[in-house]
């Protein structure tokens, strides 16, 4: 899937990698299976620079047989990746407090994963302010209903995204690791 957000164009693809029964921050309790994916994000504006990220679907999706990601799922995965990138900019104490970690070892582990995401996004030329702007643009896209499968008027979609100014203030980071997405 290709999407233009603000002044950047991205190609986002997914490949199913394996089925897991826990998240990195979960105890291994076998609470239910989830499909894990490798999401590849290509920045078409930086010479087709690509980076891959791990993304895990929900137990609910797995149980109902929804294992292939559609447009909305890919955009949600991209938003989670961007949110993880923002979360990796926090110091570990702020991160633990923000996401309610009580075990320092869990906070350190997940914060480290978010920092790796931050580094990959920075490699693609995406810095903190752009991460917020892109998350806000994705929220606008979702609010308009244009994130759903079947929205095919590319020119209108591009005009809508480009004409809307980014929201002011900080985006609230949502991490794929903590939300069970």
Assigned token pair, 175:
């991490």
Lookup result for tokens 């903190």: 128
pTM of the predicted model as reported, rounded to 2 decimal places: 0.77
φ, ψ of residue 38 to 5 degrees: the values are -105, 115
Give the model confidence (pLDDT) of 30-41 as tens digits.
Answer: 567 889 999 999
Structure confidence by residue, pLDDT tens digits, 127-157 = 999 999 999 999 998 888 776 654 443 433 3
């Amino acid at each position: 899937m290709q999407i233009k957000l603000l002044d950047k164009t991205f190609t986002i693809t997914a490949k199913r990698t394996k089925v897991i029964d826990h998240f990195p921050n979960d105890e291994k309790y076998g609470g239910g299976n989830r499909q894990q994916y490798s999401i590849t994000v290509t920045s078409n504006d930086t010479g087709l620079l690509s980076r891959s990220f791990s993304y895990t679907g929900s137990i609910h999706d797995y149980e109902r047989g929804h294992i292939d990601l559609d447009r909305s799922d890919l955009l949600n995965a991209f938003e989670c990746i961007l949110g993880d990138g923002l979360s990796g900019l926090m110091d570990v104490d702020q991160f633990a407090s923000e996401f309610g970690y009580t075990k320092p070892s869990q906070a350190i582990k997940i914060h480290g994963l978010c920092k790796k995401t931050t580094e990959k996004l920075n490699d693609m030329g995406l810095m903190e302010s752009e991460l917020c702007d892109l998350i806000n643009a994705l929220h606008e896209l979702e609010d308009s209903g244009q994130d759903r499968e079947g929205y095919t008027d590319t020119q209108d979609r591009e005009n809508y995204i480009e004409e809307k100014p980014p929201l002011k203030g900080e985006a609230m980071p949502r991490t794929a690791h903590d939300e069970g997405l």
